[in-house]
């Protein structure tokens, strides 16, 4: 008997529900259920299912949405696993030149960059190097959340490089 994994992603900020579902898909789960509490998460999960060869059904209640994912073609998934194997470090470098992402509200930009690094950390497509320059050095010296994420990436084999001149300039040495 196949047991479905139930994931509670209610009250989780974007992109956490997406990443939790992606983790199940990357583990080649034949089916799973994820609970979310906002329409934006539902739309993101619909797109993920479509891109990942999963069908979904959605049950809506007053408080949340229950989304059931089912693999459309399990044999194809097994074949892809055998062909691709387990992804780890890829041949790409991430350059971080500031401590925010995008333009607009600074706090939003900081949160977006934190979530971007978190997303990379839980993905199967890790860079070989992350380079922090200019105000991007604060991610490795001031922000406890990104320090922990960078440490986790380093433990997975990612080389973290922080600009020494920038550290001196921002008095972070």
CA torsion sign, 78 to 80 to 85 to 88? negative
Question: What pLDDT does residue 84 have?
Answer: 46
> Which one has a higher pLDDT value, 26 or 116?
116
pLDDT computed for residue 3 by the predictor:
61
Give the separation between CA 20 and CA 27, rounded to whole angstroms.
Answer: 11
The domain spans of the chain are 5-84, 93-169
What local confidence, expressed as pLDDT, does residue 15 receive? 82
The whole-angstrom separation of Cα 153 and Cα 130 is 9
User: pLDDT digit string (tens) for 6-22?
Assistant: 999 999 887 889 889 98
Architecture of domain 5-84 in this structure: 2-Layer Sandwich (3.30)
Q: Give per-residue pLDDT as tens, 142-161.
A: 999 999 999 999 999 999 99
Partners of residue 129 on adjacent β-strands: 93, 159
Residue 62's pLDDT is 87
What is the reported pLDDT for 4?
74
């Amino acid at each position: 008997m196949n047991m479905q994994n139930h994931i509670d992603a209610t009250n989780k900020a974007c992109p956490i529900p997406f990443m939790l579902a992606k983790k199940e898909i990357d583990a080649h789960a034949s089916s799973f259920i994820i609970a979310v509490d906002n329409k934006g998460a539902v739309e993101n999960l619909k797109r993920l299912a479509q891109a990942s060869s999963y069908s979904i059904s959605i049950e809506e209640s007053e408080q949340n949405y229950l989304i059931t994912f089912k693999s459309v073609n399990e044999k194809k998934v097994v074949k892809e696993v055998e062909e691709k194997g387990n992804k780890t470090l890829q041949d790409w470098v991430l350059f971080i030149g500031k401590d925010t992402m995008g333009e607009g509200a600074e706090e939003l930009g900081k949160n977006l960059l934190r979530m971007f690094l978190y997303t990379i950390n839980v993905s199967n497509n890790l860079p070989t190097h992350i380079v922090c320059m200019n105000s991007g050095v604060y991610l490795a010296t001031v922000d406890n959340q990104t320090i922990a994420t960078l440490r986790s990436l380093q433990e997975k084999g990612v080389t973290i490089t922080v600009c020494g001149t920038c550290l001196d300039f921002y008095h972070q040495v």
